[in-house]
C-alpha cells in the first residue's frame, strides 16, 4: 500500500506541475477565461492560483503535509465547480477523487511526514 501511495503522490504532483507549466505557457489565451473573484483582477487570480498549485504540488511530491495540501487542492476543485466558468466537468471530478485519496492516505511510509515523525520520536510514558 505504501508503494501505491508513493506512486499516487508522485503522479498527482507531477501532473499538477505539468498542468501549471502549460497554463503559464498559454497565459495570453487562458487569462481571458479566468474569473474576476471578489473584484480582483483575473491576472492576480491567475498568479495566486498558479503559485499555490505549484507549492502544493511540491508538498505532495515530497510527502510533506500531504493531507493539508490535498485538502486545499480539493477545495480549489470544489470552487471550480461552484464558479463553473473554467470548464468544470469530468477532469475536475477525477482530480477531486485523487485529492480525496491523498487526504485519506496521507503521505504513506515514503514521505517526509513519516521521516519527521520518526525523527521527533514518540514520547514514552514514565516507567515506575
pLDDT tens digits for range 52-97: 999 999 999 999 999 999 999 999 888 877 776 555 677 888 999 9
pLDDT, residue 104, reads 95
User: Reduced to 3 states, what is the DSSP secondary structure of residue 111?
Assistant: coil
Give the integer Cα–Cα distance in Å for 77 and 92.
6
Q: What is the pTM of this model?
A: 0.82
pLDDT tens digits for range 18-60: 999 988 898 888 887 777 777 888 888 888 889 999 999 999 9
Give the integer Cα–Cα distance in Å for 32 and 35.
8
Who contacts 65 (Cβ-Cβ below 8 Å, separation ≥6)? 59, 113
pLDDT tens digits for range 95-108: 999 999 999 999 99
Q: What are 85's three cell numbers?
A: 466558468
Who contacts 30 (Cβ-Cβ below 8 Å, separation ≥6)? 23, 46
Amino acid at each position: 500500500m505504501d508503494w501505491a501511495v508513493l506512486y499516487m503522490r508522485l503522479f498527482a504532483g507531477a501532473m499538477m506541475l505539468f498542468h501549471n507549466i502549460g497554463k503559464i505557457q498559454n497565459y495570453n489565451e487562458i487569462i481571458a477565461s479566468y474569473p474576476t473573484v471578489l473584484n480582483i483582477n483575473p491576472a492576480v487570480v491567475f498568479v495566486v492560483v498558479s503559485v499555490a498549485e505549484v507549492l502544493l504540488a511540491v508538498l505532495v511530491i515530497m510527502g510533506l503535509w500531504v493531507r493539508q495540501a490535498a485538502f486545499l487542492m480539493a477545495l480549489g476543485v470544489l470552487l471550480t465547480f461552484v464558479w463553473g466558468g473554467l470548464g468544470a466537468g469530468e477532469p475536475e471530478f477525477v482530480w477531486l477523487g485523487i485529492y480525496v485519496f491523498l487526504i485519506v492516505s496521507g503521505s504513506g511510509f515514503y514521505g517526509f511526514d513519516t521521516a519527521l515523525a520518526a525523527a521527533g520520536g514518540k514520547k514514552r510514558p514514565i516507567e515506575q
